[in-house]
A and B are shown apart, each in its own frame.
Chain A
Amino acid sequence: MQLLERIKGCLGGLIIDISEFHGDIAVEVDRFKIVEALTRLRDDESLSMNFLSDLFGLDNKAFYEKPKKKAKKGDAEGEEEEKPKELPPRFEVVYLLLSLKTNERMMVKIRVPEDDLEVSSVTSLYKAATWPEREAFDMFGIRFKGHPNLKRLLMWDDFPAYPLRKDYPLEGRGEERSLVYGD
């Protein structure tokens, strides 16, 4: 059976959206059901997605807001009344899975709104998720509930911002001033 069908059969009602692009399958599930979905994918006989090759956060802010700005430039006076379309949640967390049994890959993603950045951790399913989850926390501020050691991975501990967010300037805001040099 095709991978797409098997995933559909395995996840069933958990799927919000499923798409295939050049052979890469992406499944979107509800963010509160991510642990359940990954458990099913891992334990399913025909899929056995038993290897988490990566996990990362994603900020869609610039992607969503670009077309809005363009429209404003085009008609400066006229249709300002037009209702802004409701944007999908700003952040995403993406899980890349690999089955070591059948050598097939797939992608699972969840959407996380800006005002509630809490997601359950999948470290209980995949040990490999510990560092990537810490990285996503470090770079985007997404908090993973149930993570054994959720602290910054790359930046120093009292770094005051989340640098991979789209509204953070590339050259930083001069944070090194808060670093203590020497003792």
Chain B
Amino acid sequence: MADNKDNNSGVIKGPGWILTKLEWLINWGRKRSPWPFPYGTACCGIEMMATLASGYDMARFGAERVSFSPRQADILLEAGTITKKMVPVLRRIYDQMAEPKWVIAMGACACSGGVFRSYSTLQGIDKVIPVDVYIPGCPPRPEGLLYGLLKIIERIEKDHPLYKEAMKFKESEGGRICNF
């Protein structure tokens, strides 16, 4: 890039190359638009709404648009109590989300069942779906949720999407044939 640059004006002449890792570029794009699917089932949902609204403004960190369709969401933001009757719904929504996907368990209820240690409540959503970030509290403060979102973003930064794909291909039949 340096060769093409006129030192005096700062204007790029010529083709203007950028050299980077494709993985870095993918992660850069992903971490700046983690659209959440708001799954607010109880009181924690109210706190989630407060975080999304203008006071705390979760959009600052790229969660610009809450996606009400699981197919366009990146993060399942599970805020609230999950009853055992609702488990198939939660599981189905998780399955409908396209890869890559992350899950935030917000609040004591989503993490462990919370105060509802009873026959009707699921004792932690990690019994049915994998969870990336647990946020304790009953309910957690909006700062807590923002911190959780930043943790997810950190996680996305450290991800190796292409390497993972390559490993998957290596283990598949096609990978064995071409001796990858």
Partner of B84, one of A168, A173, A175, A182: A175
CB pair B117 A181 closer than 8 Å: no
Which stretch, B5-13, B85-93, B144-152, B171-179, touches the partner chain A? B85-93
Any chain A CB within 8 A of the CB of B69? Answer: no
CB pair B92 A179 closer than 8 Å: no
Number of interface residues of B (CB under 8 A): 13
Looking at A154, A156, A163, the one whose CB has the most chain B CB atoms below 10 A away is: A156
| Bound: A156/B119 CA distance, A | 12
Any chain B CB within 8 A of the CB of A171? Answer: yes
Q: Please list the residues of chain B having a beta carbon within 8 angstroms of any beta carbon in chain A.
A: 84-85, 87-88, 91-92, 95, 117-120, 122, 128
Any chain B CB within 8 A of the CB of A180? Answer: yes
Number of interface residues of A (CB under 8 A): 16
Within 8 A of B (CB), among A156-183: 156, 163, 168-173, 175-176, 179-182
CB pair A181 B91 closer than 8 Å: yes
| Bound: A168/B119 CA distance, A | 9
Known: A176-B84, A179-B84, A181-B87. A171 touches B119 (CB 8 A): yes
Name the B residues within 8 Å of A169 (CB-CB). Answer: 119
- A169's closest neighbor in chain B, by CB? B119
